[in-house]
Chain A
Amino acid sequence: MTAARAKLLAMPSRKSSALAIACVLVLAAISCARSKDDHRPAKGSSATTAPAAQRIVAIGGAVTETIYALGAGARVVAVDTSSGYPDATGALPKVGYQRTLAAEGILALEPDLVLASAEAGPPTTIAQLRSAGVRVELLPTIETVEGAAARIRSIGAVLGDRGAGDRLGDTVERDGNAARARAQAHPSATRVLFLYARGGGTMLVSGTGTGPAQMIALAGGVNAVTSWDGFRPLSAEAALAAAPDAILVPALGLASLGGIDGVVALPGLGDTPAGRARRVIAIDDLMLLGFGPRLPAAIDELSAALAGP
């Protein structure tokens, strides 16, 4: 209606615009015509009201990983770009980055469940999906062993397999606490600087209260940076002041920096104890930061790396 107003401003007369609309309505039928075989198959299994979701869109790396770990991977029809584990996810359609999802793209996959991390959005898309009758479950990431276990149990319940969820959740909680106990029985007191370097320009260092800081603590290390909360861009002087013994990077970040040589060549890092000893620890991004089913393994791997030379 208001578009019509904008158009009226522009149009020489109402008659011609009405005419244009009329003849183009006819064109419409032709313009977007497509062959019959392009049609979606008639709704089959997905329309039945089975208790367990059969077509799942998984959003968020750790959520996707958990669904696969619970044996429901075959029911996943699409994932977001942050879901890269296990390898089977590589063959699935990608619905884009988890914060900029598009409703129609997801609806086209005819999901009966969108299982997502709480970061998923924007909120309008979530609301649109829900109003289209799609069940959307958003699960927050709580960056503790107990939080990771609780999320796994929740995912099991949402998938309609409470037993599997509870079993895996209990295992992760038990193994995670055991790994933490092992790591903290011999605290290495290694000062660790976490460098988040995904892609060219942005080089962020973790302060307190972050997932990486939590992982360093679980693995018996010490976060070298305590003077700020959250992430800050790397500065040479702050790096020198932090005097880390080791630099921790997500594996993908290490590759984009040009390996260990690239890391120790960053401003300030070369002159820290870690830089002089070329002690750079790289751990798979999702395993280290996801707080998913591989949390115990991540704690073990990090604490081994911190204890080692």
Chain B
Amino acid sequence: MTARPVEVTVAPIVPIVPIVAARPIVAARPMVRLTPPRALLLLAVALVVVAIVALGVGAVKLSPGEVLAALGRRLGLELPWTVGAREELIVCSLRLPRIVLAMLVGAALAGAGAGMQGLVRNPLADPALVGVSNGAAFAAVAYIVVGHPLALALPSLAPWLLPAAAFVGAIVATGLAVSLARRDGRISPSSLILAGVGVASLAGAGVGLMLFVANDAQLRSVTFWTLGSLGGASWTLTGVVALPVGIALAMLFAQRDALDRLLLGEAEARHLGLEPERVTRRVVVAVALAVGAAVAACGVIAFVGLVVPHLVRGWLGPSHRWLLPASVLGGALLLVAGDTVARVIVAPAELPVGIVTALVGAPVLLVMVIRGEVAS
């Protein structure tokens, strides 16, 4: 896969990576080989560029100088530009935490997607496969619809109850899927997928039930929650999300060689001294942590976990040593870019970011189908 000419393999990247990144790739001549480390560097640079652009644009028009001055004001630096408290708040308390949260969530979703696809050896696997998204959605919707007494009982914790419910729902659903899939202490990918689909359907039915008893206002809250938004970003939320996401990504990365060996097949991996059950357990725990935290922070965001690792695999090959970090960077890049579009395109209102990622992700998937890249 890696031996294929660069021009052919990078083509599907073009619609998803902003022009900034696409130019150098396409322009790359055979002598300047795009080695995985260079690809990572490229993704990292693109991510930083997009993040800086994202910091500069928004409903409130600020010049680059004003943005720098706002950052400087927060940090207590003397700069030639001056801005007021309002500009400082917009840059440092609205845009910046939101960009960092988008990075974390995008990284979590795409990293979890890469891990999941490697674990079940199916390039179209999605973290949702083990029921994690639906479990989170069920718990969150249940909280929106019938959780009011809980919010009244714990007023000081009220803002945290919805994310907490979603996170718990994600973990419980995943745990259920894994324990149902276990046979004699072994978990085969197919039984994991089936158990996950079962749990996800059950949670989906639970969501339907909750929608049935919901009132009009709750229905609307649910609809907007399921479309995803990063609008609730704050430094506190970002910090809270960073911990599980950081742990989960570290756990996934630690399994990179094991996942590679697992690609050979379970029996072969066993011969190489691997315990597939341990790998499965760790990857699933990491996926539940990462996706649970992501969904809890900003609702359901479609396609990042599916499309990003798939594109990266076509680009860098199947080795998780590169696939995992590149997916993490690519997911962060996609979500920061998508959220920036969501913020500015209908200003002063905002689009739910899930719509933007699905609008980008679905065509990419369809192109892959048309080109026959998903048939195998």
Contact = CB atoms under 8 A, between A and B. Distances in A.
Interface string A1-43: 1110111011110001100110111011111111000111000
B146 interface: no
Given A128-B94, A133-B85, A122 B232 contact: yes
B348 interface: yes
Interface in A71-109: 78, 81, 93-97, 99-100, 102-109
A231 B352 CA distance: 26
Contacts of A5: 242, 246
A15 B325 CA distance: 17
A46 B56 CA distance: 25
Contacts of B217: 99, 119
B60 A108 contact: yes
Contacts of B245: 2, 6
B263 interface: no
A280 to B, nearest CB: 20
Nearest to A108: B59
Interface string B48-66: 1100110111111101110
B45 A24 contact: yes
B266 interface: no
A226 interface: no
A157 interface: no
Interface in B298-350: 324-326, 328-329, 332, 343, 346-350
A132 B89 contact: yes
Contacts of A39: 61, 63
A160 B49 CA distance: 47
Nearest to B36: A12
A5 B215 CA distance: 43
Contacts of A233: 212
Contacts of A99: 217, 220-221, 224
B40 interface: yes
A106 B349 CA distance: 8
B45 A97 contact: no
A291 interface: no
A259 interface: no
30 contacts: A6-B245, A9-B328, A10-B324, A11-B40, A11-B41, A16-B41, A20-B44, A20-B45, A23-B45, A24-B52, A29-B64, A32-B56, A32-B57, A34-B61, A81-B349, A93-B348, A94-B349, A96-B348, A97-B224, A102-B348, A102-B349, A104-B90, A105-B59, A106-B348, A107-B59, A109-B348, A128-B93, A131-B93, A132-B85, A132-B90
Interface of A: 1-3, 5-7, 9-12, 16-17, 20-21, 23-25, 27-34, 38-40, 78, 81, 93-97, 99-100, 102-109, 119, 122-125, 128, 131-133, 196, 202, 204, 230-231, 233
Given A2-B238, A12-B41, A196-B216, 9 more contacts: A2-B104, A6-B242, A6-B246, A17-B44, A20-B45, A32-B67, A102-B349, A107-B90, A231-B215
